[in-house]
Amino acid sequence: VNMYDPFITDDDITAFLEMHVESAGRPKRINDRYGYWTGKRQYQVTLKVNMNYEGGFSHPPAMFALGASRGYLFYRDQPPFCKKCLEIGHLEKDCRTSRCTRCGEEGHTKRICRKKVCSLCGEDDHMYRNCLR
């Protein structure tokens, strides 16, 4: 996991991951060759079994946000991921969806969505900065 905001806590990232995978252990922080933290964290996770997906597993999103901070997931054999609809199995250039990635409704995009949704827990009564999780 690569978060560009160093103030996003390990607990928040772990809570987000656990919405998408069976289990996520404590992260290992990745340092560069000089010993400085790169902002990357490495997790050992177990993917959820889901026979509706190719390969029999559901995969976490390759790109996500916690509040205004973006995060990126990279792992071996990661399937193609669309940055437009946040679905797995195709790329943005091949996307035919007009679904909002914030609220999940059809017919509009995140850019014009006015609905408030917590990016950590998915509830619609508060934002990430006020999340009690």
Q: How many domains does the chain have?
A: 1
pLDDT score at 44:
92
Distance (Å, whole) CA 79 – CA 112: 29
The total number of residues shown for the chain amounts to: 133
**30 pLDDT more than 90:** yes
pLDDT score at 13:
93
Report the range of poorest mean pLDDT among 10-24, 58-72, 118-132: 118-132
pLDDT score at 41:
94
Residue 119, domain extent = 2-130
Contact 124, 113 (CB under 8 A): no
| pLDDT tens string 42-80 | 999 999 898 887 788 888 888 888 988 999 998 888 888
Q: Return the bridge partners of 21, or none.
A: 47
**29 pLDDT more than 90:** yes
Distance (Å, whole) CA 31 – CA 41: 9
Contact 58, 47 (CB under 8 A): yes
pLDDT higher at 89 or 41 = 41
SS3 38: strand
The DSSP bridge pattern shows strands 69-72 and 21-24 to be unpaired
